[in-house]
């Protein structure tokens, strides 16, 4: 059986996400972990879906985020690490072609994701530890990132907002 993006959006009750794509929260761990910006659950988990016309715009979290492949086409996670280096990793099941079924985005890494234009969608899971909170979420504009990382202009122009509304 083959399902399309609309099937998952409807049946998993996915909603538009501020960074792009669609998501729904699936679990919040019990208990609290102290962070610089307050107490957070031990971890949180979501389903996240990108269609080929969507971009998960460049953003940063103060927690580690593990990405898990579930369905559809492979997804590319674009990362600018704290030291300024850039890496693109493919999330998918074709390990012979360099894809990985799970990818770690370390805390304080600027990252976003995309699905190839020739593909249809990618459904993944994301677990954040300590748990996600919008207080720890930074969304960037092209101007902000180009000032600090001009060497990554191509990916920044593709993956960051021109300006935030």
Q: What is the CATH number of domain 5-159?
A: 2.60.120.10
Q: What is the pLDDT of residues 26-54, one digit of tens each?
A: 999 988 888 887 888 989 999 999 999 99
Q: Tell me if 159 sits within 8 A of 146, measured CB to CB.
A: no
Reply yes or no on whether the pLDDT at 164 is more than 80: no
The rounded distance, in Å, linking the Cα atoms of 10 and 31 is 31
Residue 53 to residues 117, 133, 165: CA-CA distances in angstroms?
A: 7, 26, 20
Residue 163: how many other CB atoms lie within 10 Å: 9
Q: What is the pLDDT of residues 78-137, one digit of tens each?
A: 999 999 999 999 999 999 999 999 999 999 999 999 998 778 999 999 999 999 988 899
Reply yes or no on whether the pLDDT at 1 is more than 70: no
Domain extents in the chain: 5-159
At residue 128, the pLDDT reads: 96
């Amino acid at each position: 059986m083959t399902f399309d993006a609309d099937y998952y959006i409807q049946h998993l009750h996915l909603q538009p996400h501020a960074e792009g794509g669609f998501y729904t929260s699936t679990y919040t761990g019990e208990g609290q972990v102290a962070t610089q910006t307050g107490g957070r659950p031990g971890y949180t988990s979501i389903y996240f879906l990108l269609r080929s016309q969507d971009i998960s715009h460049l953003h940063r979290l103060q927690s580690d985020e593990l990405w898990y492949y579930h369905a559809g086409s492979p997804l590319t996670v674009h990362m600018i690490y704290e030291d300024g280096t850039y890496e693109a990793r493919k999330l998918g099941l074709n390990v012979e072609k360099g894809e990985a079924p799970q990818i770690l985005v370390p805390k304080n890494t600027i990252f976003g994701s995309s699905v190839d234009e020739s593909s249809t969608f990618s459904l993944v899971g994301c677990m954040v530890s300590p748990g996600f909170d919008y207080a720890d979420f930074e969304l960037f504009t092209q101007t902000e990132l180009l000032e600090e990382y001009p060497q990554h202009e191509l990916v920044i122009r593709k993956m960051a907002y021109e300006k935030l509304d």
